[in-house]
Amino acid sequence: MFRRVIANGSTGTPPASCAAGWRRGSSAATTLPPSTRIVDREFDRVDSGARELEAHLGNTVHRIWRLTDAGAHQRIAAAMADRKVYIADGHHRYETMLAIREELRPQARSPRASIEYGSMFLTSMEDPGVVILPTHRVVHGLADFDLERVLEQLGSRFAVDELAAMTSAELRTKLASRERSFLLASRGRIFLLSLRPGAEAAVAGPEPLRTLDVPILHALVLEQTLGIDRAAQEKQTNLRYVKDFDAALEESRRPDVQAAFLLNPTRISQLRAVADAGEVMPQKSTFFFPKLASGLVLDPIDPLEEA
C-alpha cells in the first residue's frame, strides 16, 4: 500500500489476445472525511524520510511512501469498508478498468486474480490540497453572431450587467461573489450573467445537475441561445476549452472568436450531491489540481496467475 500517490486505470483496452499486462494512469477519488482520519493516522506513522520515489514534473512534486504493515492494511480496509467513494476524476479510466476485467475474466484461474482488483488514489474531501479549478469555454466559428441580439435573448433568463474596466484579479473576485453566474467576454466587452430565480427549470436533468454552472451554460446559452447543440458541443465544432482565466480573456479579443465564457469552480459539495443522485458530472466541469502523474505506479494484471 502506498501513501498519497497511487496510479490506476488504463489509457486503452487491450485486445482479447492479451493475457497479461499493466494498468497505469491517474484515476482519483475522494472519500467522506470521517473515514479518512484513521487512514491519515496510519499513514502518519510512516517514516517521512523513507520515500519510495520522488518525481519533479513541472511545478509539481510527487512523493510516494510504501506502507507495508499488514495490521495497518487491515485497519484501513475496515475503516473504508462501509464508506462511499466518489470518483472525482478519471471516470473513463475507471470504466476502462472494468472493461479490461470483463474481457479477461473468462481466462482467470482464480476468483482473486489481479484483474478483480484495481488501485486508486484516495483523498479526503476536506483535504486542503484538493482544489477544483474551472474550465472556461471559448465559442468560435459561429455565422451571423450578433452580440446585442444575444444579450437581449439572454436577458429573459439572466440579469445582464456590463462591467467597467477591471483587472483580471478584480474580475475573478467579482465572479466569485456570485452563484450560478459567469462572465461573457466578447471583443473587449465583459458582462456578468446571473441566472434569474427559477430559470434553471429549463435545464434538463435532476435538481443537482440543474444547479451547476456548466449545465446552465451549456443548455441555456450554448444550446438554446447560440444554437450549439449537444453533438456540436461534444465534437467541439464551435467550442474549445481553456483552463487559464487570462488566456480565455485574451482569446475573446480574437477576430475569429465570438465570445468566451468564464466560470466559477465547481464545489466539492456539488460534486457529492450529483453523485448521491446517481448522476455523472458534466464534461469539463471539474479540473482537479494538482494532477497525478500517469505511470508513477504500475499495476500488473495476469488472469492466468494462481492467486
pLDDT at res. 215: 92
Crossing angle of helices 70-80 and 33-44, in 10° steps, is 170
Residue 30's pLDDT is 57
As a dihedral over the C-alpha atoms of residue 172, residue 177, residue 180, residue 184, rounded to 10 degrees, the angle is -30
Handedness of CA 212, 149, 152, 203 (dihedral sign): negative
Cβ burial 257-284 (10 Å sphere, 16+ → b, else e):
bbbbbbbbbbebebbbbbbeeeeebbeb
- Of the candidates 132, 131, 130, 133, the one whose C-alpha atom is nearest the C-alpha of residue 36 is 130
The domains of the chain, with CATH numbers, are 2-130+290-301 (no CATH), 135-264 (3.30.1760)
Q: What is the pLDDT along the chain (307 residues), one digit of tens a residue?
A: 544 433 333 333 333 333 345 555 445 555 555 556 778 788 888 766 678 888 888 888 888 888 888 998 998 888 888 888 888 777 778 888 899 889 988 888 888 888 888 888 888 777 777 788 899 999 998 888 999 999 999 999 999 999 998 999 999 999 999 999 999 999 899 999 999 999 998 888 888 888 899 999 999 999 999 998 888 888 888 999 999 999 999 999 999 999 999 999 988 888 888 888 888 787 788 788 777 887 888 878 777 776 5
Q: What is the pLDDT of residue 18?
A: 33
**What does residue 189 show for φ and ψ, rounded to 5 degrees?**
-105, 145
Q: State the pTM of this model.
A: 0.77
Per-residue 3-state assignment (H helix, E strand, C coil) for 36-82: HHHHHHHHHCCCCCCEEEEEEECCEEEEEEECCCHHHHHHHHHHHCC
Give the three cell numbers for residue 179.
452563484
The whole-angstrom separation of Cα 228 and Cα 237 is: 8
CA dist., res. 46 & res. 67, Å (int):
7
Q: What's the longest Cα–Cα distance across the chain?
A: 69
Query: Strands across the sheet with 60-66, in order?
Result: 2-3, 60-66, 51-57
Please report the pLDDT score of residue 252 as a whole number: 95
The span from the CA of 91 to the CA of 113, in Å, is: 23
pLDDT of the residue at 117: 84
Residue 218 — φ and ψ, nearest 5°?
A: -65, -40
| C-alpha span between 45 and 76 (Å, rounded) | 13
- Using the Cα atoms of residue 152, residue 153, residue 156 and residue 162 in order, give the sign of their dihedral: negative
Question: What CA–CA distance (Å, rounded) separates 278 from 88?
Answer: 14
DSSP assignment of 115-183 equals GG----EEEETT-TT-EEE--EEEEE--TT--HHHHHHHHTTTEEEEEPPS--HHHHHHHHHTSSSEEE
C-alpha count within 13 angstroms, C-beta hemisphere, residue 165 = 0
Q: Which residue matches cell numbers 500488473?
A: 300
Task: Please report, as a single letter, which amino acid is at residue 291.
Answer: K
Task: Give dist(CA 252, CA 230) in Å, integer.
Answer: 22
